[in-house]
Amino acid sequence: MADAYPLPENSPIAPQSERIGHFRSAEGRARFTAAYRDGMAALPAPDETRTLTTSYGRTTAYRFGPPAAEPLLLLSGRQASTPMWRVNLAGLTAERTVWSMDSLGEPGASAQTALVTGPEDQASWLDEAIAQLEVERMHLLGVSIGGWLAAQTAIHRPARLASAILLDPALTFAPITWKMLVVSLGSVFPGMPDKVRQWLLSWISGGAKADDSLPEARLIASGMRDFAQIPIQPRQPDDYELRSISIPLLVILAGDSIVHDAERAAVRARTVPGAEVEVWAGRSHAINGEVPGEIARRVESFLAQR
């Protein structure tokens, strides 16, 4: 399996001037690769692994379950990758085939090779990757910045999409709060002590433990420390773009999210024609890990209507 996909150990170490996501050092890349391997080992073994080459770089997709015409594709949050779905896969795969894809520009089993300048480029690389999976259409499920990516693909490249489900999507329906900007300091300042970085991850997760005993927390912490995220700020969709979304859309917002004002985001999300919008009280931005069973049931009930 080690040669079957572009492991993080094959991802670039590049100077900032190249303006693509990269590891800061060979040591950091090795540390992240070890965490990634441990994270993948905690998941069910994928039934298929594919390396996908796009105009912007190579990435990896993993299939859990038999081939299907309209599977569900998981899109991870910032500094995260496929192992973040550890607690979700059992429930999501109970009724449906699931793919998970590591995002370009984020630390994971991917290798960005070209500049991504904005939402249209983000939607383009994902559309190119989906085209190589040989499916009729995809249902997208994205959390945080993965939800933003799903929304942008629904706006700019909807042809291959059957529906989209957004879990507390960042910078999609409301601005980022100052609290989230504080959390982002864990990536901006790689020399930040590990305990402080773990405290930031715990804060965004509603106070849940976020230390190295959890494979996904260790992986995200390494991504924050060891991977240089090129500071291209995701752009929030405007009103016209949101109203242009024509695929079925489910938006689940975490009532206690520190990323945005959930009620404000809900008001704007309801401007999308036909969108189903819910605010789950008492849930943090780490909603996918807090209530995996409820997420799986709500996702399946939504998809069953399609």
Q: Give the DSSP letter string of 205-272.
A: TTT---STTSHHHHHHHHHHHHEE----PPPPP-HHHHHT--S-EEEEEETT-SSS-HHHHHHHHTTS
- Radius of gyration for the alpha carbons in the chain, expressed in angstroms and rounded: 18
In a domain, 102, yes or no: yes
Question: What is the Cα 149 distance to its own chain's centre?
Answer: 8
Closest listed residue to residue 269, CA positions, set 166, 133, 178: 166
Judge whether 192 lies within some domain.
Answer: yes
* Within-domain flag for 234: yes
Local structure of 180: helix, strand or coil: helix
DSSP 304: H
Torsion of CA 214, 83, 186, 153, to 10 degrees: -150
In a domain, 1, yes or no: no
Q: Please answer whether residues 95 and 162 qualify as being in contact, where contact means their C-beta atoms are separated by less than 8 angstroms.
A: no
Q: pTM of the prediction?
A: 0.90
CA distance 110 to 229: 13
Q: What's the domain count of the chain?
A: 1
* List of residues 6+ apart from 219 with CB closer than 8 A: 32, 35, 36, 38, 39, 80, 81, 83, 84
What is the pLDDT at residue 2?
37
Whether 58 and 127 have beta carbons less than 8 Å apart is answered as no
82 with 223: CB under 8 angstroms? Answer: no
> Is 117 a domain residue?
yes
Supply the range of the domain harboring residue 243. 8-304
CATH number, position 38: 3.40.50.1820
Could you list the pLDDT tens digit for every one of the 306 residues in the chain?
333 445 676 666 765 546 788 888 889 899 999 999 999 999 999 999 999 999 999 999 999 999 999 999 999 998 899 999 999 999 999 999 999 999 998 999 998 888 888 999 999 999 999 999 999 999 999 999 999 999 999 999 999 999 999 999 999 999 887 666 666 655 555 666 666 555 555 556 555 565 566 788 888 888 888 888 775 567 899 999 999 999 999 999 999 998 999 999 999 999 999 999 999 999 999 999 999 999 999 999 999 987
- The verdict on residue 3 lying in a domain is no
State how far the Cα of 205 lies from the Cα of 268, in Å rounded to an integer: 24
Residue in the structure block whose two tokens are 């094959």: 10
Residue 2 inside a domain? The answer is no
Please tell me the predicted confidence (pLDDT) of residue 182.
63
Per the domain annotation, does 283 fall within a domain?
yes
How many helices (H) and strands (E) would you count in the chain? 11, 11
Of 53, 46, 44, the residue nearest 125 (C-alpha): 53
d(CA 48, CA 189): 37
Task: Report whether 110 contacts 104 (CB < 8 A).
Answer: yes
Q: Which helix (H) or strand (E) holds 54?
A: strand 48-54
Cα distances from 278 to residues 180, 264, 284, in angstroms, run: 21, 12, 14
CB 130 within 8 A of CB 62: no
CA atoms of 204 and 256, how far apart (whole Å):
10
Q: Tell me how crowded residue 227 is: count the other CB atoms within 10 A of its CB.
A: 23
202: alpha, beta or left, given left = phi > 0 and alpha = psi -120 to 50? alpha
